[in-house]
Amino acid sequence: MLEDIRGIPNPLFRALASGLFLSTVVTIPATAVLLLLNPKNESTHKLIVYAAIASAAVGTVSGLAVGKSKPTASETAEDDARETEWKDWRKFVVDRKVKESESITSFYLKPVDDGMIPQFVSGQFLTIQLDISEQSKPVIRTYSLSDYIESTSHYRLSIKREPAPPDTIAPAGIASNFMHDRINEGSIILAKPPAGKFVLDVNSSQPAVLISNGVGITPMISMAKAASLLNPQRHIWFLHGARDGSLHAFRDEVNVIAERNPNLHIVYCYSRPNLTDEGKYQRKGYVDIDLIKNVVAPEMQNLCGSTDAQYFLCGSPSFMDSLRDGLREWDVPDNKVLFESFAKAKPKKREQAQGLTQESTQEHDSMEIVFSKSGKTLNWSPADGTILEFAEANDIFPDHSCRVGVCGTCMCKISEGEVDYEETPTASIDSGSVLICISKPKTARVVLDI
């Protein structure tokens, strides 16, 4: 009953209902007891009236105070996803394909079933599945949602073409090249609902600094748009690094938002600008900690009276490492720095990784992993890397995507033993399940449903 009253959205009706409820609950038993003890006494009657008035007043005031707190943006998004009952793969058609820079192309997706699509929280991503004829199984990848409009009618993904690494015989990126070369307007792809915890709470009034380079701009543009639309009073710094103008996606789009929102402060840094880039960027060089300390912080102090801010980082692994180290050295607490990795950082030197892992798992010389569905029982050692890497090396190919514990695609059931995570996973993990892309065995025997 109390929960029902708490849920009444209109504060006046909630206060009346609460007053009536408390007055009834207090007055009826009090009346019964007092009348039983002293039925004829006039002061008994007065006492009953006072009790009724007092309890109604207390109920009304508490009714005003205890309304259900406003749902957070991610709660609303989860509710929306529930309403549409979209949990697994859903078909989307590419409605528009737009080139954003020399290397990044956007894909506007609409559901084939013409149904509603849930609003997402800016910063979240979609996991997509592609049927690529040369691949033995569907290819699953994760892409940030790069747009934000108030009533979502489409999703936009903006994908960088990943070329083959120079001086190697390694192949070019599978999914990104397939999207660029073979996905066109009218193509169908499968997607799971928006997910992810790298999100901007638009209701907060704390200044935010969005820092990206390269394709790391995708969640940032969504955040800048959401904040400018829903909370334009909030001061946001948008720092972006690109080699030159030809590789700088969304420059005009972000400039338009900033023209409308004076509280969105932009700094573009080009490391090797072309002559034609003159006037299109603010600084030559990289986005680094000195830019934050010497340019952003004084401006923020001046405009906001403090330099207490939230930092969002997304970009190449080395870029994020150097900024995270810089912010830490500058005494910015870790809980003020949120980051999203699109790619796994370079693996540590083998000997180093071995040394570290052996220390934490020294109790067990040989650890056994049972891949129950594949019918394989194998001995793992620290040099074998993560459970996913170990599985792949032994011709077991579980579903996976990000390899950094973000997307949750590699989640599987564990029926025996425990695992250790190399880094804290950001994906939500079901109870009795583990993510294998960033974990290794912790106990002598681990049984996985793979």
Q: How far is the CB of 88 from ligand FAD (least distance, A)?
A: 19
| By the rule CB under 6 A, 407 interacts with ligand FAD | yes
Q: Among 396, 405, 399, 415, which Cα is nearest to 437's?
A: 405
| By the rule CB under 6 A, 175 interacts with ligand FAD | yes
Distance between CA 408 and CA 391 in Å, rounded? Answer: 17
* Nearest-CB residue for ligand FAD: 173
CB 35 within 8 A of CB 44: yes
| By the rule CB under 6 A, 248 interacts with ligand FAD | no
| By the rule CB under 6 A, 436 interacts with ligand FAD | no
| By the rule CB under 6 A, 159 interacts with ligand FAD | yes
Q: Could you give the strand order of the β-sheet that contains 337-341, starting from the edge strand earlier in sequence? A: 283-284, 264-270, 236-242, 208-213, 310-315, 337-341
| By the rule CB under 6 A, 160 interacts with ligand FAD | yes
74-82, 159-167, 320-328, 353-361 -> range binding ligand FAD (CB under 6 A): 159-167
Q: How far is the CB of 187 from ligand FAD (least distance, A)?
A: 16
Distance between CA 195 and CA 200 in Å, rounded? Answer: 13
Query: Strand runs (DSSP E) across 326-418, as ranges?
Result: 337-341, 367-371, 376-380, 411-416
Q: How far is the CB of 180 from ligand FAD (least distance, A)?
A: 9
| By the rule CB under 6 A, 144 interacts with ligand FAD | yes
31-39, 165-173, 236-244, 326-334 -> range binding ligand FAD (CB under 6 A): 165-173
Cα distances (Å, whole numbers) of residue 9 to 12, 21, 136, 179: 9, 17, 53, 45
- Binding positions for ligand FAD, 316-375, rule CB under 6 A: 340, 342-343
Cα distances (Å, whole numbers) of residue 40 to 35, 43, 304: 8, 9, 68
| By the rule CB under 6 A, 158 interacts with ligand FAD | yes
| By the rule CB under 6 A, 57 interacts with ligand FAD | no
Q: How far is the CB of 321 from ligand FAD (least distance, A)?
A: 16
Q: How far is the CB of 176 from ligand FAD (least distance, A)?
A: 3
CB 428 within 8 A of CB 196: no
72-80, 224-232, 288-296, 401-409 -> range binding ligand FAD (CB under 6 A): 401-409
Q: Which two tokens stand for residue 318?
A: 């080395």
Distance between CA 423 and CA 437 in Å, rounded? Answer: 10
| By the rule CB under 6 A, 174 interacts with ligand FAD | yes
Which residues are registered as beta bridge partners of 260? none
CB 120 within 8 A of CB 143: no
Q: How far is the CB of 23 from ligand FAD (least distance, A)?
A: 53
CB 382 within 8 A of CB 397: no
For ligand FAD, which residue of 138, 171, 298, 355 counts as binding (CB under 6 A)? 171
- End-to-end distance of the chain based on CA atoms, in angstroms? 46
| By the rule CB under 6 A, 239 interacts with ligand FAD | no
Residue ranges binding ligand FAD (CB under 6 A) = 125, 141-144, 158-160, 162, 164-165, 168, 170-176, 215, 218, 340, 342-343, 402, 404, 406-407
